[in-house]
Amino acid sequence: MKVKSSFGPQYKEFEIGDVIFLAKEKPLKLTSGAEIKNFPLAYQTYGTLNADKSNAILICHALTGDQYAASKHPITGKDGWWSFLIGPNKTIDTEKFFVISSNIIGGCMGSFGPKEIDPETNQPYGLSFPAITISDMVKAQNLLIEHFGIQKLHAVIGGSTGGMQALSWSILYPQKVKLIIPMATSYRHSPQNVAFHEVGRQAIMADPNWCEGKYFLEKKCPEKGLAVARMTAHITYLSEVALQKKFGRELQNKNDFSFNFDPDFQVESYLHHQGYSFVQRFDANSYLYITKAVDYFDLEKDFSGKLSNAFNNLSPEIKFCLISFSDDWLFPPSEAKKLTHALAACGVNVSSITIESTAGHDSFLIESNALKNTIKGFLNNQ
């Protein structure tokens, strides 16, 4: 089913692509205790599902990503965020694999989220939308996989928040997946990362146009608050080396300081651009809900304070490939190391690699031979 949606400060309508309504007969119970039923999930697919439905790969997107992993984005017009990895004869070869990429619940690109219309009020859910967790996102994805009639996924792959989803797949549905590839991620969100998220949330809620989450009804958008949230978060996606290499202390189209509060430095202009472009494609309330879901993620806490307990019931056939990046300070290689030790302690087949990088956390979104070769080798040599 293809539907249209509207989004952004101008509330322009755009074609959302494929959307399916899930849990039509039996509600999906969320971690919070709330239940959702007959809710939309937007997705994209690439390649062809084979006769025995054994070649499916699920791609899980990062915090502010979406289903357009390898196709043109309907709002920005840009190529998909993993177009360099997914496609015919590419690393994730769509001549061989059937690739599924869905927008998480809580998102704003067609899946069930706070900007969707509540049938009981005929208004956007806003803050009446139920709280969600990473596990809830995965449970909704599982309903999509069941819709395709897939008994077992060849692989689940994701970076950052997508990596958390991949880890959750192994715990919630260990019999339904063969390979797990989490990258640039962790078993929990660190206190520092929670702090950055809270700064972003407070920036949004302090914007007078947020209107207690009812900005759609007021025909407004908390653009400034959402832009500041994005600017703050984007700093964590880069490394000091990346910032120095890309910008240094170079001025933006000027030879001297302006001696006012306009952007003087290139790095300032870059952050302003990131903030402005973000509000054109993302919903402020979705940002609140998704960042909170990531903050709640903690496999150690969920399993009595011992991380290895999370992986005690995995299928003996399941295999992991953990990928981290050397200068990622948001989710440093030490996080992957602890995950590797926990998996190994349970006798799980796990391999781990730290890729030398200079782009920080965003390295999983940047084309490199090391990243492509690692994923391709793991997918094809099992």
- Spell out a b/e string for 294-304, using b for 16 or more CB atoms within 10 Å of the CB, else e: bbbbebbebbe
> Active site includes 302?
no
Q: Check 111, 135, 160, 357 and give the catalytic one.
A: 160
Closest CA to 106 of 84, 83, 68, 135: 135
**How far is 289 from 133, CA to CA, in rounded Å?**
9
307: tokens are: 């991380």
For residue 38, report the phi and psi dihedrals to the nearest 5 degrees. Answer: 50, 50
Q: Check 61, 283, 361, 362 and give the catalytic one.
A: 361
> Active site includes 197?
no
| DSSP code of residue 351 | E
Farthest CA pair distance, the chain = 67
Closest CA to 168 of 144, 132, 135, 137: 135
Closest CA to 64 of 288, 247, 379: 288
Residue 13: partners with Cβ closer than 8 Å, 6 or more residues away: 4, 5, 6
Report helix, strand or coil for 127: helix
> Active site includes 334?
no
CA 282 to chain centre: 13
Q: Check 93, 264, 328, 362 and give the catalytic one.
A: 328
Neighbouring C-beta atoms of residue 349, cutoff 10 Å: 15
- Give the residue numbers annotated as catalytic, written as ranges: 160, 328, 361
